[in-house]
Amino acid sequence: MESDLSTSDYLDQIERLPTHEREGQLFWKLRIRETRSQLRHLFANSRLRTSLVISLSIVFWIGLFVLFYLGFDFVVGQVGLPGATYHAQTVQFVFTLFFMSLQIMLIFSSGIILYGGLYASNETNHLLTLPIRDSRIVLYRFQESLFFSSWGFFLLASPMLIAYGIVVSAPWYYYAYLPGLMISFAYIPCTIGAIICLILISRVPHLRRIVVGIIALLIVVVAYTSIWRTLDIKDADLLGAAWFKQTFRRFEFTREEWLPSTWLSNGLLEAAREETFDPGDLPWFESGKYLIVLLSNAMFFHVILLWVGGLLYRSSYYGLNSRQARQTHLRMAWIDRITEKLLWLLPRETQLLIIKDFRMFRRDPVQWSQFLIFFGLLMLYFANIDRFRQHRQDINVLAWVNIVSFLNLAVVGLILSTFTTRFIYPLISLEGRRFWILGRLPIERDAILWGKFLFAASGSWLPCAILVVSSDIMLRVSIQVIVIHQFICLMLCIGLSGMAVGLGAIMPDFREQSPSKIAAGFGGTLNLVLSAIFILLTVLLTALPCHFYFMANESKLQTQMIPAGNLLLWLSLGLIGVVLLTALVTIVPLMGGFRAFRKLEV
Amino acid sequence: MIHFEDVTRTFGNRTAVERLNLSVGKGELVALLGHNGAGKTTSIKMLVGLLQPSFGQVKVGPYVVSESMREASRLIGYVPDQPFLYDKLSAREFLEFVGELYGLTASEVRTAVQREVERFQLGEFMDRLTESYSHGMRQRTVFAAALIHEPEVLVVDEPMVGLDPQCIRLVKDFLRAYADNGKTVLMSTHTLGIAEEIADRVAVMNSSRLVFEGTVAQLRERVPGVLGTLESLYLALTDVSVFDGNSNGDFRSHSESPVLEP
C-alpha cells in the first residue's frame, strides 16, 4: 500500500542530490554560459549600444581620474605628502566621508536589488520547485545584487584611489592591496543589506502597509533634516579655517573605528605612506592588518547571510505570497475628468487614446516612480542653489548664474530624453500586442500616433516647466530669461516627444514585451543619442547669445566687442534656429513614423 | 503517492482551497478540473512547494512537502502554467543544468537529454537559444526538463494551452503512457475532452472546495438526469442549483458534506 511508503524507498535518489559545493559549481556554470551568450548577442546585435556604453564609461573613468588627480595634487600641495602632520587627517577625512556614503548606498541598493531577485522573479519561482537548498538560491541571487549594486562603487572608487596612489607615489603593494581592500569592503555593506532585506520581508507581511509607509517617510525626514543641519553654515564662514574645523568635527562619526569604511581608509593610508626605518612600524604590514580585518568580516557576514537565508527565505517567500491581493475598484478618477476637459479641442478618438495612455501610465508605479525620483532629486537640487543671491552685483557671479541656469535647463532636457527613450519610445512596440483591437477600430492610424505624441509632449511639459521655473526663481534670473527658458523647454518637450514617437513607429519591436529591453535596443539607443545632440544644439543656440545679451544689460556694462543691437539679432536668430531645429526633429521622424505605421502588419 | 490531507489555504480573508482531501496513487492519472479561481493552481503550488498550506499537509511519497521540500522536489517533475526558460541558454544547456541539479551524473544527463530529445522531438532546435522558440517549442522543452530525472510524480498545470494539434496529441499520448508505466500524474486542465480521454479519475473543484472525485462513469451516476460528455456533467456539477437544489449561488452555506463520494 502507498501509505507504507517509507523514506528508504527513495534513499538512493535523495542521496544523489548535489552537495552544497556542487550546487555552487552548477550555478557558476549557468552564469558563465548565460554571460557568454549575452556577450555574443551584444556584440552581434547591439554594437552601437555596446560601443556607446563602453566608450562613455571609459570617458567617464578618465574624466574622474583627471578630476581626482588634480584634486589630490592640490591637497598634497597644501598639506604635504603622506607622513606630514595634516596629510593623514585631511585625506582620511575625505576617504572616510566618501566610503561611508557609499557604504550606506551599498546597503540600500543591495537590499532593494535582492528583493527583486528573491521575491519578484520568475526564475526564482522556477528554482524554488527544484531540489535546491534555500541558502543556495539566496546566495545565487545575492551574487547578482552584489554585482549590480557595487559596479558603480568600483567605477567611482578605482580612478580616485589610483589617482591618489600616483599623486603620493605609493609603493607597489598599495596597488596590490587595492583590489582586495575594495572587494572585501564592498562585500560587507552588500551582505548587510541582503540580511536586512531577508529579515524585513520575513516581518513585513505582518505589518500594515501604512505603518511601513510612515516608517519610511520618517527615515527620509530624519535623514534629510540631519544632513541639512550638518551642512547649514553661514555663507561668511564658508571655506574659512573655522568652517574646516567645524566640518571636521561634525563628521567625526564617519571615522568611528568599528566602521568598514574606516578600515578601508586606514588600510589605504597605511599602504600609501612612506616606509620608516623602524622595524616595528611596517606600512605593508599595518595595511595588511586592515585587509585581513575587512576580509574576515566579509567572510563572517557571508556565513551569516547563508544562515539567515536558509532560515528565513522560504518562510518569508510564503509570507509575502500569502497576502490577500488588493481589490481595486477603478472608476473614472477626477484626474481623468480634468484631462478630458483639458483636451476638449482635440477629436474625440484622440482624447480617448490619450486618456487610455495616461491611465496606463498612472497605474504602473514602475514608470512614474522613476520619473518622480529623477525629477524629485532635481527639484531638491534646484531648491538649494541660492548661494549666488548675496553677490548679485558681481559680474563673475552674474556670469555663473546665467551659465548655471542654462546648464539646469540642459539637465532637465537630458533627464526628459531618458524618460522619452525609456517610456515613450517603446509605446508603439508595446501597442503591437494590442493591435488586434486598435488596428480594427474605426479610427485613422495616424490618430494613434498623434495621440501618443500629444500625450508625451503635454505630459512632459508641465513637470519640466515647473522644474525650469523653480531653478530660475532660485537663481533670480530676469523675467526675459524665464520666458526664453520656458520657450526652449516647450520646444524640447515637443522635439523629444516627436522624435521618440516617430522613431518608435519606424523601428518597432513587437517580439519584446519589456519596455526597458525595447529602449535598450538599437532604435532606443539611437533615439537617446539624437535626443542628446538635439538638446545640446538647442541650448547652445540660445545660451551664448542670451548670456552675452543679458550680461551686458544687467551689469550695466556695454560690451565694446559686439554692439547690443547685434546681440539682440544674434539672440533672435538663435531662437528662430531652435524653432527650425525643433520642427525638423519633430516632423521628420513623425512623418516617417506615420508612413511606417500606416503600412504596419502585425 | 500524492496526498492532500485536509489542506486549507487562505489569503487574508479569502479562502482559496478549503479542506482538500485528495490522493493520487502510482500508475494513476488524475485530472483536476474547475473554473478559474476554483483553487486548482493554488493546490498545485502547495504540492510543488511554492505555497505552504495554512492548515493540513501535502505529502509526496513519504515526504511532507513543507517539511522536506528538497526531498519531495526530487520526486516531482513540474510543468507550470507559465513556464520559465533561460532566454540566453539553449534547450540542451537548460536540460543539462536541471538534470545535474537533480543529481544525475554527466553521462546520465547526456543519456537523459537524448531520451527527451527523441520523446519530444526537440532535435532541430536543441542548440538554439530558447528566446527564439515558439510557444509549442518552449512547452516541449519544459516537459523535457520536468522529466529529465524520470520523476515518480508528474504535475502538469494547463499543459495544452497554445499547443498545435500535433503537439497536443504528443503530450496526451505521453501523459497516458507515463501513468501506464507506474508513475503518478496530476494534471490541471480546462480541456474537458482531454481529461475524459486520458484521465483515470477526475477531481472537480468549485469555489475552493473539492466537489467530486472519481471516474467519469461514477460522475454520471452522481449527477442524475444529465447524460453525455464530461463537459455537460461538469457544467451540471459546478452549477450550484443542480448540486444542492438552490440557485442563489451560496456554496458556503452547504459546507457540511461538500464532496460527492463516488
Question: Per the CB < 8 Å rule, is A130 touching B97?
Answer: no
| pLDDT of the residue at A56 | 83
List of chain A residues with pLDDT < 50: 1-3
DSSP string for A370-401:
HHHHHHHHHHHHHTT--TTGGGTT-HHHHHHH
Contact B230, B195 (CB under 8 A): yes
Contact A501, A453 (CB under 8 A): yes
Given B11, B26, B93, which is nearest A33 (Cβ)?
A: B93
Does the pLDDT at position B248 exceed 70?
Answer: no
Chain B contact present for A509, CB below 8 A: no
Contact A600, A513 (CB under 8 A): no
Question: Per the CB < 8 Å rule, is A131 touching B11?
Answer: no
Contact B133, B113 (CB under 8 A): no
For residue B23, give the H/E element and its range: strand B14-24
| pLDDT of the residue at B245 | 39
Which positions in chain B touch A323 (Cβ < 8 Å)? 11-12
Chain B CA closest to residue A40 = B88
Question: Per the CB < 8 Å rule, is A33 touching B73?
Answer: no
Q: What is the DSSP letter of A510?
A: S
| pLDDT of the residue at A587 | 94
Number of C-beta neighbours around residue B181 at 10 A: 10
- What's at B144, amino acid-wise? A
Does the pLDDT at position B23 exceed 70?
Answer: yes
pLDDT confidence band for B256 (50 / 70 / 90):
very low
Contact A550, A481 (CB under 8 A): yes
Chain B contact present for A327, CB below 8 A: no
Question: Per the CB < 8 Å rule, is B86 touching A123?
Answer: yes
Does the pLDDT at position B217 exceed 70?
Answer: yes
For residue B162, give the H/E element and its range: none
ipTM of the complex: 0.86
Chain A CA closest to residue B146 = A130
What are the tens digits of pLDDT across the range A144-176? 999 988 888 898 899 999 999 999 889 999 999
| pLDDT of the residue at B254 | 36
pLDDT, chain B, mean: 84
DSSP string for B43-72:
HHHHHHTSS--SEEEEEETTEETTTSHHHH
**Domains defined along chain B, listed by start:** 2-254 (3.40.50.300)
What are the tens digits of pLDDT across the range B96-153? 999 999 999 999 999 999 999 988 888 888 889 998 888 888 888 999 999 999 999 9
Count chain A–chain B contacts defined by CB atoms under 8 A.
106
State the nearest Cα–Cα gap between A19 and chain B, in angstroms: 9
β-pairing, B153-157 vs B76-79, is parallel
Cβ neighbors of B94 (< 8 A, separation 6 or more) are B85, B86, B130, B141, B145
The CA distance from A386 to B198, in Å, is: 77
| pLDDT of the residue at A242 | 73
The CA distance from A194 to A215, in Å, is: 19
| pLDDT of the residue at A283 | 84
Given A18, A323, A324, which is nearest B100 (Cβ)?
A: A18
Cβ neighbors of A36 (< 8 A, separation 6 or more) are none
Question: Per the CB < 8 Å rule, is B103 touching A23?
Answer: no
DSSP string for A321-362:
HTSPPP-------HHHHHHHHHTTTS-HHHHHHHHHHHHHHH
Total residues found in chain A within this entry? 602
Contact B159, B199 (CB under 8 A): no
Grid cell digits, residue A215: 516608517
SS3 A525: helix
For residue B32, give the H/E element and its range: strand B29-34
What are the tens digits of pLDDT across the range B226-242? 666 777 777 777 765 44
| pLDDT of the residue at B261 | 42
| pLDDT of the residue at A562 | 60
**Percentage of residues in chain B having pLDDT higher than 70:** 89
Give the position of cell 517610456. A423
Angle of CA points A595, A597, A599, to nearest 5°:
75
Distances (CA, A) of A290 to A85, A188, A253, A299: 22, 14, 19, 14
Any idea where the domains of chain A sit in the sequence? 54-205+251-274+299-319, 349-598
